């Protein structure tokens, strides 16, 4: 499985500017470019994929209907969409009494559905057994740590971008990533992979 192909930030901004002027083709391209990533991000909050897709559809309908009121210069279109989607799906889950509070501090007893966690680690050129072991460790991480890792690795977000999307400060993001890295390093039994994981996630915090 390959990393999802997306437009560059410059291309996304170009499409955004055309979209807010009423260009339906640019709007369609924005949806196509971001849809799958939003679905995968939504699985960090619930298992119900049809519900997730409904929320994404509602979000894009809202954007189209209110395009004349939107900014033509978001700092990053993808991050704007992720933050808007995060706010909307959490609101809908709370309205339906399906929402589990995501605490600022780690809740070691919490659980969050993590489908296809291997997608986050495709750069590890290792065998199936290794990936399964990593998946098991990732599933043990608290909710905030998994969400931060997803945004940092899979979506290539910077620390400040993750902070903006998750609604927390930079230090909290760094703490979540550092704790996740420490957990993975501590529980990993194969020393050569330990070094690899350490180097990868240390780079995340720079």
So what's the pLDDT on residue 112?
A: 34
So what's the pLDDT on residue 99?
A: 54
pLDDT band for 117, please (50, 70, 90 cuts).
Answer: very low
d(CA 103, CA 83): 17
So what's the pLDDT on residue 73?
A: 75
pLDDT band for 114, please (50, 70, 90 cuts).
Answer: very low
Tell me the per-residue pLDDT of 59-91, one tens digit each, with 9 for 90 and over: 999 999 898 888 767 888 999 999 999 999 998
Contacts of 30 (CB under 8 A, 6+ apart): 12, 15, 16, 19, 77, 81
Residue 123 has pLDDT above 70, yes or no: no
Tell me the per-residue pLDDT of 144-184, one tens digit each, with 9 for 90 and over: 888 888 888 778 788 899 999 999 999 999 899 888 877 87
164 burial (CB, 10 Å; 0-12 / 13-18 / 19+) is: buried
So what's the pLDDT on residue 94?
A: 86
3 state SS for the chain: CCCCCCCCHHHHHHHHHHHCCCCHHHHHHHHHHHHHHHHHHHCCCCCCHHHHHHHHHHHHHHHHHCHHHCCCCCCCHHHHHHHHHHHHHHHHHHHCCCCCCCCCCCCCCCCCCCCCHHHHHCCCCCCHHHHHHHHHHHHCCCHHHHHHHHHHHHCCCCHHHHHHHHCCCHHHHHHHHHHHHHHHHHHCCCHHHHHHHHHHHHHHCC
Percent of the chain residues past pLDDT 90, beyond the cut: 28
First-to-last C-alpha distance (Å) of the chain:
28
Domains of the chain by start residue, with CATH: 9-95 (1.10.1740.10), 117-204 (1.10.10.10)
Question: Which letter, b or e, does each residue of 16-46 get, where b requires 16 or more Cβ atoms within 10 Å of its Cβ?
Answer: bebbbeeeeebbebbbebbbebbebbbbbbb
pLDDT band for 34, please (50, 70, 90 cuts).
Answer: very high
Residue 103 has pLDDT above 50, yes or no: no
110 burial (CB, 10 Å; 0-12 / 13-18 / 19+) is: middle
pLDDT band for 45, please (50, 70, 90 cuts).
Answer: confident
So what's the pLDDT on residue 104?
A: 44
pLDDT band for 107, please (50, 70, 90 cuts).
Answer: very low
């Amino acid at each position: 499985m390959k990393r999802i192909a997306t437009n560059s930030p410059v291309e996304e901004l170009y499409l955004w500017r055309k979209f807010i002027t009423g260009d339906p083709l640019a709007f369609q391209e924005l949806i196509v470019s971001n849809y799958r990533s939003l679905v995968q991000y939504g699985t960090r909050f619930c298992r119900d994929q049809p519900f997730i897709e409904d929320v994404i559809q509602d979000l894009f309908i809202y954007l189209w209907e209110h395009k004349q009121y939107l900014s033509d210069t978001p700092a990053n279109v993808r991050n704007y969409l992720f933050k808007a989607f995060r706010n909307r799906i959490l609101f809908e889950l709370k309205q339906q009494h399906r929402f589990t509070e995501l605490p600022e501090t780690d809740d070691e007893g919490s659980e969050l559905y993590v489908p296809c966690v291997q997608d986050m680690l495709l750069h590890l050129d290792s065998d199936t057994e290794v990936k399964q072991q990593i998946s098991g460790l990732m599933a043990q991480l608290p909710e905030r740590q998994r969400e931060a890792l997803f945004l940092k690795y899979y979506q290539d977000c910077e620390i400040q971008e993750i902070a903006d999307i998750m609604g927390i400060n930079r230090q909290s993001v760094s703490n979540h990533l550092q704790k996740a890295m420490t957990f993975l390093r501590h529980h990993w039994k194969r020393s050569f992979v330990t070094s690899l994981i350490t180097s990868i996630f240390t780079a995340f915090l720079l």
